[in-house]
Amino acid sequence: MKSREQTFLMVKPDGVQRGLIGNIISRMEIKGLKPVAMKMIEISPDLAARHYEEHKGKPFYEGLIDFITSAPVVAMIWEGDDAVTIVRAIVGATDPRKSDPGTIRGDLAVFTGKNIVHASDSQESAKREIGLFFNEKELCTYSLPHENCLYE
């Protein structure tokens, strides 16, 4: 079975509390991406700090840590060719006022601090974030019978 690119996607507390988990998963599935790991967790302050370390010191950092630890999140790994780029495109721009309609943030959010999802922004970030949230045993290996219809 061909191993394709993996990316990390997380439904943030606002997405969970607004009942949007299924909507977000559905958008990934109908695009043709394959879920290989998924779990609901409460992020610890330590994990939050490690996940968002690039933003330490920015004006919104403390609020972001408080927010991401305020209620459960759903952490996922999605797989497919160019999965990082494709998932970021489905997620939309960081500021929902500028996200295109049709994207998750463009359709469902209005404020940058409550923009529903996190998605890795590069293959390096994806590897790092997958390693932060999952151990290898939590990843599933299986085939999608319809992959021949998706890829050349």
Residues annotated catalytic, as ranges: 118
Smallest gap, in angstroms, from Cβ of residue 90 to ligand IDP? 12
Give the residues lining the site for Mg ion (CB under 5 A): 121
- Ramachandran area for residue 57 (φ above 0: left; ψ -120 to 50: alpha; else beta): left
Binders in 7-36 for ligand IDP, by CB under 6 A: none
- Ramachandran area for residue 115 (φ above 0: left; ψ -120 to 50: alpha; else beta): alpha
Q: Which does 94 bind (CB under 5 to 8 A by kind): Mg ion, ligand IDP, none?
A: ligand IDP
With contacts defined by CB under 6 A, how many residues of the chain interact with ligand IDP? 9
Task: For residue 38, give the 3-state DSSP assignment.
Answer: strand
Q: Are 51 and 68 in contact (CB under 8 A)?
A: yes
Rg (Cα) of the chain, in Å, rounded?
Answer: 15
Cα 84 to chain centroid distance, Å, stands at 10
Binders in 126-145 for ligand IDP, by CB under 6 A: none
- Torsion on CA atoms 39, 42, 47, 52, rounded to nearest 10: 90
Give the DSSP H/E element, type plus range, for residue 9: strand 6-11
121 binds ligand IDP (CB under 6 A): yes
Q: Which does 151 bind (CB under 5 to 8 A by kind): ligand IDP, Mg ion, none?
A: none
64 binds ligand IDP (CB under 6 A): yes
- Give the pair of three-digit tokens for residue 142: 């299986």
Rule CB under 6 A: choose which of 17, 85, 112, 123 binds ligand IDP.
112
Smallest gap, in angstroms, from Cβ of residue 118 to ligand IDP? 5
Q: Which does 64 bind (CB under 5 to 8 A by kind): Mg ion, ligand IDP, none?
A: ligand IDP
Q: Which does 39 bind (CB under 5 to 8 A by kind): ligand IDP, Mg ion, none?
A: none
